Structure 1
Amino acid sequence: MATGWAPDGAVQDQIDDTIADAVNRARHAMPKGESAEECIECDESIPDARRKAVPGVKLCISCQNMRDKQPVFTGINRRGSKDSQLR
C-alpha cells in the first residue's frame, strides 16, 4: 500500500495505537472501590453476586446494558482524510 511520505509500518502503528488507546480507556472506565448496594441511576438493589463479581460496581445490570449501548467518542481521528486536514 502506498503511504506517501509515511514510513514503512505507519498504518500498523496507527492500528496498534488505536487498540492501545481503547484498552487504556477500558481499564480507566472499570469501576473501583466499594460496590454500591443500590443502582445510582434507578435505585434498584444490586445483587450480591454482581457486587462480588465486579468490585466497585455502581449500576444494576439493566442500567449498565443501557450505558454500554451508548456510543463512545474518543476524540481522536487517526484516519483523517486530506479534505479534513485542509479545513
Structure 2
Amino acid sequence: MAGGWSRDGAVQDQIDASVEDAIARARGRLPQGESLSRCEECEAEIPEARRRAVPGVRLCVACQSEQDAAGAFSAYNRRGSKDSQLR
C-alpha cells in the first residue's frame, strides 16, 4: 500500500510504532507504587480488590468516576455539522 520510494509495509510499520508509543504514554500515566487504603479525597476506604487490581490507586471508585467525568469535557462540538462549528 505504500507508495513512492517507501518499501512495502512501511505505512503499517509507522502505524504500529504510533500505536506502541500511545500505549507506552498511557501506561506511563497509570498510578504506580503502593495503593492507599483510604481515598485521598473523601477518606472512604478503598476495597482490597480495587487495590490489587489497580496498583498505586489513590482514589475510591466514586471519586475516580467524578475525576474521569470532569476530564471528559470538550469545548468542541463533535456531533454537529461543520457549519455549526464555524459560527
Alignment root-mean-square deviation, CA: 2.6
Which residue in 1 is equivalent to 2:45? 45
Equivalent residue pairs, number: 71
Deviation at 1:17, TM superposition (A): 0.8
Question: What TM-score do the two structures reach when normalised by structure 2?
Answer: 0.56
Deviation at 1:20, TM superposition (A): 0.7
Which residue in 1 is equivalent to 2:58? 58
Q: Could you give the per-residue CA deviations for residues 16-58 of structure 1, whole angstroms, max 9, x where no partner exists?
A: 0122112212332232211112223444331222113322111
Query: 5+ residue gaps in structure 1?
Result: 72-87
Match of 1:26, as an amino acid?
A: A
Matches within 5 A, 1:1-87: 1=1, 3-68=3-68, 70=71
Give the Cα–Cα distance (whole angstroms) in 2 for the partners of residues 41 and 62 of structure 1: 10
Bigger radius of gyration, 1 or 2? 2
